[in-house]
Structure 1
């Protein structure tokens, strides 16, 4: 059998294949009234079409644990029961198709309150329906962005509780995987990196202090997430600062990620979703096919923690080779699944694998 189509088990949950859908914001929720942050017909169509296409796991996009945690006013949220109820329909349909339903829970930190990308992505101020961002330190993401409010220790603990509440709601909605978003320069990643965390209290300075908030979130989520279901963590393996030799800023590195993977495993994380970048503006990132796979490979090889690889994985044979060579345990596809919701079906035909087929599509099986 194709390695890409071998089932994969974490705790008591078995994924039918290793082709997974990465969380990708759609910026398509209502931004006012009772529909704020609630998944709608667009989200249902978007996610269920990839399930009908044979994707083994679908991770719903970054879903905010509080209104202030949204990247944009049009982001999804999971801080109330109206949102939870709306997610039930999506999670149930994914399971009906044999796809594992997962969700990424997140807080955008200093990168919150921005416009939709196709409208320019600029900061949205309170006068235009936005809000004041918060962060570990009063450092804007880049020129032209607001200076965020520095979180107090009491506010930090409140956000830890919001992550736990979001995980409870995710479970009630029917999701079987929850992923904590610690990547791409959002709040948890901001705490991890010395580039964005200049605190001098118990949440800043040393590696142990900078990772404290992330581990407190993981502990709080793991405490309410069933033992039989897996917990993922998404990380940016590097800020791409040390790789830019003419940049004297200090950031999070690949070695930090390997070290932190050991900590995450001891706190109950079952898989590391390894991406990169997003925390430091205007850095050079040497993109190319599979350019982030070595980060996932290093974590897996040096710690034994299962990993998922991301980053310009676009061809069935390319994905097959990553799994077959043991460089990662799964591949998370983003843009390729936007282009081709049926990637898994096409890959199965090319590689000799198999995916389930909706009864209504039996003539194409």
Structure 2
């Protein structure tokens, strides 16, 4: 019944066993709980897990591919996922947060006078001056680091990499944030240079390694997202990325606005429907024949199968649904869709948990809800 969803697909030179991918997700969990969550999802039958926000530069905080401890962390993560016949992808990421500018908000965050929801627009307000003021020498160091990080990711056991096309890539691409007047600003081609150089740096280091690109599309009328590219810029941007070495696209709404927009709940005023971001895939597919992965509140097997069978997308990515029920794909393959714990997109324990610094969980989580759902 779900022939397309259950069928394999090749991205670059790797073959996924089915069309379901776990989307990159910030969990906010302890390492122990995070590894358990990732292993549960890998064991649940999806074909690949994308590990979000893997830094391309050496990092003082968090996990880094450049440190012995950090490399071992990612290596263990890859081994854990591979035990379940599941592939793993590193989302290579460079933050566009002005860390120096962020310092003044730390006391307010620690004392909880500034909530995560209040902090986000404060940080976003610093993106334009930060991006616009970065020295060219620093910019080139960052784009070159994508290649170095990709090599390390491959050594750690990752099967492919994804370039995070939002964050710094998206901010450079966006006329909203990028006010530069040099070769990285002004025209669309110049604004796209950062992203293209990042992809090219990987391809120059790894000739045959698969490179996915998280393509963030900014929407107007009504306005959603501030980074990324407009749909009118896709005819230029997509071929540039393909020529640089991208082998597939992961298409979604641009970020740098309310998290409730990029992770929309069922009552969102604009993105309330299942598959709410697939319209951006419709735009991207006009300019490429490469595989496209769609996201956006995907829950129901019948709906997803139809999108895949119609060729609208070639892969489907989900996060909240696999947090609600890691066994989603196994149940689909076994014809037991009636047993799926369906995500209702309430955002209470997932987005809500992240915003409250409690980690990403679900209303079905017995430890938190006390229910037997």
TM-score range relative to shorter protein: 0.7 to 0.9
Deviation at 1:298, TM superposition (A): 2.6
Deviates more, 1:141-150 or 1:187-196: 141-150
Counterpart-to-counterpart distance in 2, 1:351 and 1:265: 39
Determine if contact 2:44/2:327 at 8 Å carries over to the other structure: yes
1:309 and 2:294 correspond: yes
Counterpart-to-counterpart distance in 1, 2:41 and 2:222: 37
Counterpart-to-counterpart distance in 2, 1:59 and 1:295: 20
- 2:168 paired residue number: 187
- 2:18 paired residue number: 17
- 2:139 paired residue number: 156
Deviation at 1:144, TM superposition (A): 6.7
- 1:212 paired residue number: 193
1:243 and 2:224 correspond: no
Counterpart-to-counterpart distance in 2, 1:270 and 1:113: 36
> For each residue in 1:22-59, what CA deviation from the matched residue of structure 2 results, as whole angstroms up to 9, or x when unmatched?
00012346xxxxxxxxxx32332121111110110111
- 1:83 paired residue number: 70
Q: 1:259 aligns with which of 215, 236, 241?
A: 236
Deviation at 1:305, TM superposition (A): 2.1
Deviation at 1:324, TM superposition (A): 0.5
Deviation at 1:15, TM superposition (A): 0.4
Q: 1:297 aligns with which of 282, 300, 315?
A: 282
Q: 2:245 aligns with which of 268, 274, 298?
A: 268
Determine if contact 1:203/1:213 at 8 Å carries over to the other structure: yes
Deviation at 1:146, TM superposition (A): 6.5
Counterpart-to-counterpart distance in 2, 1:124 and 1:41: 29
> For each residue in 1:121-142, what CA deviation from the matched residue of structure 2 results, as whole angstroms up to 9, or x when unmatched?
xx55486699xxxxxxxxx973
Counterpart-to-counterpart distance in 2, 1:77 and 1:182: 20
Q: 2:53 aligns with which of 42, 62, 82?
A: 62
CA distance 1:351–1:172, shift in 2 (3 Å): same
Count of aligned residue pairs for this structure pair:
314
Counterpart-to-counterpart distance in 1, 2:334 and 2:100: 43
- Give the SS at the match of 1:20: strand
Q: Where in structure 2 are there 5+ consecutive unaligned residues?
A: 110-118, 262-267, 338-373
Counterpart-to-counterpart distance in 2, 1:264 and 1:202: 17
- 1:135 paired residue number: none
> For each residue in 1:324-354, what CA deviation from the matched residue of structure 2 results, as whole angstroms up to 9, or x when unmatched?
11001100111111111111112213389xx
- 2:342 paired residue number: none
- 1:142 paired residue number: 121
CA distance 1:193–1:25, shift in 2 (3 Å): same
Determine if contact 2:162/2:214 at 8 Å carries over to the other structure: yes
- 1:8 paired residue number: 9
- 1:94 paired residue number: 81
- 2:270 paired residue number: 286
Determine if contact 2:227/2:254 at 8 Å carries over to the other structure: no
TM-score (norm 1): 0.77
TM-score (norm 2): 0.76
- Give the SS at the match of 1:215: helix
